[in-house]
Structure 1
Amino acid sequence: MVVQIPPSLHSIEEYFALEETADYRSEYRDGEIVPMTGGSINHNQIVVNLIIALTLALREQDYHVYANDLRLWIPRFRQYTYPDVLIIKGEPVFESGRTDTVLNPNIIFEVLSKSTSSRDRGDKFTYYRSIPQFQEYVLIDQYQIHIEQFSKTPEGNWLFSESDAEDGVLTLVSANCQIPHRQIYERVKFDRNE
């Protein structure tokens, strides 16, 4: 018989005390503190490419692009996460008393890895959908050209689209911009064993 030991639960105050002194970032999952794994070179290159392409594409609009060091609080599910890239329309709304934790992303990008793919597609998407401003979710494969996109309709439904076309274009409906797949995957090498 295998006995499972439940994870020890921590308060939000304990989580922040750890975050302020740790050499690594952790997510907070309703009492559980989960250290984040390091990213691969492909993961990092895609994030850098996204930040550059999105910043240029949105520079004349009231959107702001933020990278994976900005924490997101999802109150309904008591989750603190670090999306790979997020876009906020207008000014960020911060969690009370904090300047490093936002509440109002419109678009979230996650670069998929073998260890995070299931969670990014499942629980995280469920949590993100509880954010009123949230309009689009983009999942980017780091092992091959493959992009999945979920876009919220005016009726509140989510439309799914995907593409693996090298010459494809990612169209962000809510931000009225387009990013060619080639820009997203520039300098990414799929032959690396990661």
Structure 2
Amino acid sequence: MQLKTEKRYYTPEEYLELEEAAEYKNEYLNGEIIPMVGGTTNHNKICLNICRNFPLTIDNQDYEVFMEGVRLWLPEYNFYTYPDVMVIKGQPIYHGKGKSNVTNPQIIIEVLSSSTQGYDRGDKFQYYRSLPTFQEYILIDQYRYFIEQYIKQSDNQWTINFYGGENAVLKFASVDWQISLQEVYQRIDFEAAEESNS
């Protein structure tokens, strides 16, 4: 006979306290703490390539770029998460005490892995769309030259563009900036990615 274990639910305050001491990062969704999958070296390099190249001033407007360690709070879904890269126009708007939880990204970038790509395209994208400042969603494949770009339209609909091949150039829609896929994938070893994926 199997004993039923009762699922433990946490308050956001309990989660934040536990997260301060946690060895690995966890998401929080409506009372549940969800362990995050560890990243690969290629995943990390792609994030760094974006952050290293993104200009902090565009058209006389300042931008902040954050990578992985800054939490995003989505109040509509009672959800804390760590996007791979967030771009914020102007100053970050913080939630709670301190400067760990932001609420106002304009662009969110996720590097896809085989285990998280369905979540990043599905539920997570739905949660992100609840943020009024969110205008553009970039999904980067870490196993080949391929990027998906979702752009918010004035009627709250989203359009999608695909960029493939090393000669393609990703043109952002919500800011006047572009980056070649060669720059995005600089020093990426696709063969190593395939080995770790098998």
Query: TM-score normalised to the size of structure 2?
Result: 0.92
Q: Does 1:16 align with 2:16?
A: yes
Shift of 1:56: 6.4
- Aligned position for 2:170: 170
CA distance in 2, matches of 1:46, 1:156: 29
- Aligned position for 2:62: 62
CA distance in 1, matches of 2:168, 2:54: 16
Query: Any stretches of 5+ residues in structure 1 without a counterpart?
Result: none
Identity of aligned residues (%): 45
Mean Cα displacement is larger for which, 5-14 or 163-172?
5-14
SS of residue in 1 equivalent to 2:115? coil
CA distance in 2, matches of 1:136, 1:57: 18
- Aligned position for 1:75: 75
Q: Does 1:127 align with 2:115?
A: no
Please tell me whether the aligned partners of residues 29 and 80 of structure 2 are also in contact (alpha carbons under 8 angstroms).
Answer: yes
Cα deviation per residue 1:114-165 (whole Å; 9 max; x = unaligned)?
1111110001100000000000000000011110010011222100111212
Shift of 1:97: 2.2
Query: In the TM superposition, what are the counterparts of 1:1-194 in structure 2 within 5 Å?
Result: 7-55=7-55, 58=58, 61-192=61-192, 193-194=195-196
Describe the shift of the 1:31–1:191 C-alpha distance in structure 2 as closer, same or farther (beyond 3 A). same
CA distance in 1, matches of 2:163, 2:152: 18
Cα deviation per residue 1:73-105 (whole Å; 9 max; x = unaligned)?
000001101000000001000003231000000
CA distance in 1, matches of 2:120, 2:59: 28
Extract structure 1 runs of 4+ deviating beyond 3 A.
2-7, 55-61
CA distance in 2, matches of 1:3, 1:166: 54
Shift of 1:60: 5.4
Mean Cα displacement is larger for which, 31-40 or 133-142?
31-40
- For the aligned residue pairs, the C-alpha RMSD in angstroms reads 2.0
Query: TM-score normalised to the size of structure 1?
Result: 0.93
